[in-house]
Structure 1
Amino acid sequence: MEDRTNPPAWLTEPEAAHHLRVSPDTLRRWRREGTGPDWHRAGGRLIRYRLTEVDAWVTGSGEAAR
């Protein structure tokens, strides 16, 4: 069962897409175009999103908000 009282600090691509209510393909396109939330590469190939940065992007208060 998912713990909603203590969400993870880092989100996988599918988790971030779910959080934003978009498809993973949309999130990938935003990443390519540089229009989505900030993302980070972990271990060379893994893409991760910091939950606080995703939320800041949604509200327009993050650096990635363009």
Structure 2
Amino acid sequence: MNPDIDDIVRRVVARVKDELVTPEWLTPDQAAVYCGLTARGLEDLRYRRQGPVASKVGGRIVRYRCADLDAWLLAGREA
């Protein structure tokens, strides 16, 4: 195969893999998409303590666990 084509294939596969594999911890933007919300809407819920459980890393970096998002979504559906 052509080296240029190999590089293109590697980049496309890496991009598709990143989109298909959901990591355990999500950024606020990723978590908002996962929940079908806007990032601002998820932030507002967090400040009002009505949203899913969030964790802070280093005191400032917010992350969400997929399991916590799933539990929050299910609890809302059951209410």
TM-score of the aligned structures, taking structure 2 as reference length? 0.70
- What is the CA–CA distance in structure 1 between the aligned matches of 2:19 and 2:41, rounded to whole Å? 26
Moved over 4 A (4+): none
- Per-residue CA deviations over 1:26-55 (Å, capped at 9, x if unaligned) read 001000111000000012210000000000
* Structure with more of its chain in helix, by fraction: 2
TM-score of the aligned structures, taking structure 1 as reference length? 0.83
Q: Does 1:53 align with 2:68?
A: yes
Instruction: Tell me the amino acid that sits aligned with residue 38 of structure 1.
Output: V
Higher alpha-carbon Rg:
2
Per the alignment, residue 36 of structure 1 pairs with 51
Shift of 1:3: 4.7
Q: CA RMSD in A?
A: 1.7
Unaligned runs of 5+ in 2: 1-14
Q: Does 1:24 align with 2:42?
A: no
Instruction: Tell me the amino acid that sits aligned with residue 15 of structure 1.
Output: Q
Instruction: Tell me the amino acid that sits aligned with residue 35 of structure 2.
Output: L
Question: RCO greater where, 1 or 2, for CA within 8 Å and sep 6 or more?
Answer: 1
